[in-house]
Amino acid sequence: MSHELEGLGDWRRTHTCGELSRAQVGTTVTLMGWLHRSRDHGGVLFTDLRDRYGLTQVVFHPETGGKVLLDRASRLGNEFVIAVRGVVMARPADAVNPDLATGEIEVDARELKLLSASDPLPFQVNEEHMLASEDLRLKYRFLDLRRPELSALLALRHKAAMAARAYLSSQSFLEIETPILVKPTPEGARDYVVPSRVHPGSFYALPQSPQLYKQTLMISGCDRYFQLARCLRDEDLRADRQPEHTQIDLEMSFIREEDVFDVVEGLYAHLWKTCLGVYLPLPFPRLTFAEAMGRFGSDKPDLRFGLELKDVSDAATASGAAFLREAVARGERVMGLAAAGRAALSRKEVDALEDVAKRAGARGLAWMKRTASGYEGASAKFFTGDADGAGQELARILTAQEGDLVLLVAGPWEAACKALGAVRLELGRATLESSGRSKEHHFLWVRDFPLFEEDGHGGWAPRHNPFVYPREADLDLIETDPGKVLGRLYDVVLNGNELGSGGVRMHRADVQQRVFRRIGLTPEKAEEKFGFMLESFRFGAPPHGGIGMGLDRIVMLMAERTSIRDTIAFPKTTSAACPMDGSPSPVDPETLKELRITPQA
């Protein structure tokens, strides 16, 4: 069916579709937007007109607007773009919609302009429960973004970004942009590279973070910097990762860790109050990496529930379980967890927990149930009889009570903590659902991470990045015992999600070179990769530190979503592709020739 389109002419929108109320009853208004849905009630047509501000009910009545207008309106389809001029009317009391901002009024249409028609839709924008696949919605992202729930997420993202800018500006930070075309550097993920036409054979990288530049800004005397920085990493994706993301990035001079904590806690308090009307208790709890791993089995623990881990190696050594005793003799640890009231779990449910532990790296999961007479279950025999003392000690350490499920994992300390931590999270999900605590906001800081980790080839690699200053007490261990060196690193965590990572940075060239040597980076390679920063250290570098926090993830958690794709206007798929615009795509041969790049066969 063809439709005659019209221009706006001298029409101007007087109101959005989300602002009319009883205060405008009796006035003539002009609204513009998309036709969300229509309902024919015995010759009177009720339509919902939508823009990003909301919905307004528009009525086409033959007695007020005329039959010709009604006939025109009845032939319009969903997502047609129209302009309507009419009179604001109060809805009858029994027709008021309390769930709609404009629910007390409707617009009695007197004139109509069809501005744009729509082809049949690949999926319905007005569905209450979206049935279309994510791939289809990403292909037609311009339609998906019309849905009120996604439109609201973009508005929330804007509000959060503006609130962050306002707060940091009030704390004497300067918003400074750093380059997008940068020197390739190893920062833990693969770079996206950009060939240079004017320097054949040379490449820029797209920044994984503004790390080196914000440190240089501190050496430049800027004192306090921030930026809503675009960061790009060519890495494998998952629900909360994208090849490009935005982070709230900041850096400060002449600081200790606590100075950064104070500013960032103030920032989150401002964001949660401004965007959600929620007041956060300050300060956030602080845990060391060792405490977080030892108590919760994670360096980003969810504190909305308990279920704390304990080291039960001493009790395991006295038990009848040879496999536990042998693990401790090898220098490994046995970690335990008492899940209150979970003795009622079935064998199938316990087996599912063991699968969780194995997927997290455990060799197995020992379990038993605490009863009035002692223990029952697969591993009970190792803590009863001659080993009853070990059983009593185990119960004491874990404060295991009758009706509790006792779980044990043996292995190298960090691996055992991680595996049992994964089981803790699985148990915790059910706890959150039954307790109603899932909507609580539990922030914390995790600090004092190891600076180095073994690289698997007999050497050492930076656990995070090589630009973090070691604890002063550990400087002498860089060469002699790097595994014990703790860095002045910290993460801010919310409900088991890492929101940001930062640290007190290197400001001394001598310490930086020692770290480079420890990770096998020769002075020549260090100069090649980071020469401009090392050069700047020679001219007076202040102690400084900062943090980068993922804006996409912050908004995701504010909105109680599970994927950051929902908070990004045009996200990529898990294969780093954009179904809407078809990127990435081949480049024509002439462009490659100009860049002096030979196409691969």
Least confident among 177-186, 327-336, 409-418: 177-186
Q: What is the C-alpha to C-alpha distance for residues 267 and 263, in angstroms, rounded to an integer?
A: 6
Domain with CATH 3.30.1360.30 in the chain: 305-439
pLDDT at 190: 86
Which H or E run includes 248? strand 244-253
pLDDT digits (tens, 9 = 90+) for 304-323: 999 999 999 999 999 999 99
- The answer to whether the CB of 165 falls within 8 A of the CB of 228 is yes
- Reported confidence tier of residue 4, pLDDT bands at 50, 70, 90: confident
Question: What pLDDT is attached to residue 601?
Answer: 55
d(CA 129, CA 127): 5
Say if CB 120 and CB 561 are below 8 A apart.
no
Strands (DSSP E) contained in 157-223 are: 174-175, 193-195, 203-205
Q: How far apart are CA 95 and CA 582, in angstroms?
A: 46
Whether 3 has a pLDDT exceeding 80, the answer reads: no
Share above pLDDT 90 across residues of the chain, in percent, rounded to a whole number: 81
Domain 137-285+546-591 in CATH 3.40.1210.10: no
Predicted confidence (pLDDT) per residue in 170-181, tens digit: 999 999 999 999
How far is it, in rounded angstroms, from Cα 527 to Cα 515? Answer: 14
Residues 88 and 28: their CA atoms lie apart, in Å, by: 6
Q: What is the pLDDT of residues 340-399, one digit of tens each?
A: 999 999 999 999 999 999 999 999 999 999 998 889 999 999 999 877 899 999 999 999
Work out the pLDDT band at 113, boundaries 50, 70, 90.
very high
Q: 């920063």: which residue's tokens?
A: 533
- Give the 3-state secondary structure of 348-399: HHHHHHHHHHHHCCCCCCEEEEEECCEEECCCHHHHCHHHHHHHHHHHHHHC
Mean local confidence (pLDDT), 470-496 = 96
Alpha carbons 150 and 569: distance in angstroms, whole number = 9
Token reading at 437: 């605590």
Q: Place 413 in a pLDDT band, splitting at 50, 70 and 90.
A: very high
Instruction: Kindly state the tokens that stand for 566.
Output: 């929902």
Instruction: Please give the pLDDT value at position 447.
Output: 97
Identity of the amino acid at 83:
A
pLDDT at position 314, please? 95
Cβ atoms within 10 Å of 129's Cβ, excluding its own:
4
| pLDDT tier, 149 (very low <50, low <70, confident <90, very high otherwise) | very high
Residue 596 has pLDDT above 90, yes or no: no
For the chain, count helices (H), then strands (E): 17, 22
pLDDT in tens, 417-467: 999 999 999 999 888 877 778 889 999 999 999 999 998 888 999 998 888
Q: With the C-alpha atoms ordered 331, 337, 338, 343, is the resulting torsion angle positive or negative?
A: negative
3-state secondary structure of 588: coil
For residue 283, CA distances in Å to 201, 262, 267, 558 come to 51, 8, 12, 19
Across 184-188, 226-230, 329-333, least confident range = 184-188
Judge whether 443 and 497 are in contact, CB under 8 Å.
no
Least confident of 74-83, 157-166, 261-270, 381-390: 381-390
Q: Give the pLDDT confidence score for residue 186 in this predicted structure.
A: 57
DSSP 393-424: HHHHHHT--TTPEEEEEEESHHHHHHHHHHHH
Per-residue confidence (pLDDT) for residue 599, from 0 to 100 = 78
Cis amide linkage into residue 195, ω under 30° from 0: no
204-235 pLDDT, tens digit each: 999 999 998 999 999 999 999 999 999 998 88
Q: Which of 211, 252, 219, 173 is nearest to 542 (CA)?
A: 219
Sequence-distant (6+) residues with CB within 8 A of 539 are: 219
Per-residue pLDDT at 26 exceeds 70:
yes
pLDDT value at 594 more than 90: no
Note the residue count of the chain.
Answer: 601
Side by side, the strands of the sheet bearing 366-371 are 310-311, 333-339, 405-411, 366-371, 374-376
| Contact present, 592 and 598 (Cβ < 8 Å) | yes
Percentage of the residues of the chain whose pLDDT score is greater than 70:
98
Nearest to 404 by CA among 375, 443, 437, 436: 375
Which residues of the chain are in CATH 3.30.930.10 domains? 137-285+546-591
Tokens of 103: 């629910």
pLDDT in tens, 524-572: 888 888 888 888 888 999 999 999 999 999 999 999 998 899 999 999 9
In whole angstroms, give the CA distance from residue 594 to residue 601. Answer: 18
Closest CA to 305 of 295, 293, 320, 313: 295
Residues 555, 73: Cα–Cα separation, whole Å: 39
Query: Which CATH number is associated with domain 305-439?
Result: 3.30.1360.30
Q: What is the CATH number of domain 22-116?
A: 2.40.50.140
Amino acid found at 52: R
- The amino acid present at 92, given as its one-letter code, is P
| pLDDT for res 187 | 52
Q: How far apart are CA 248 and CA 164, in angstroms?
A: 8
25 falls in which pLDDT band (50, 70, 90)? Answer: very high
pTM of the model: 0.92
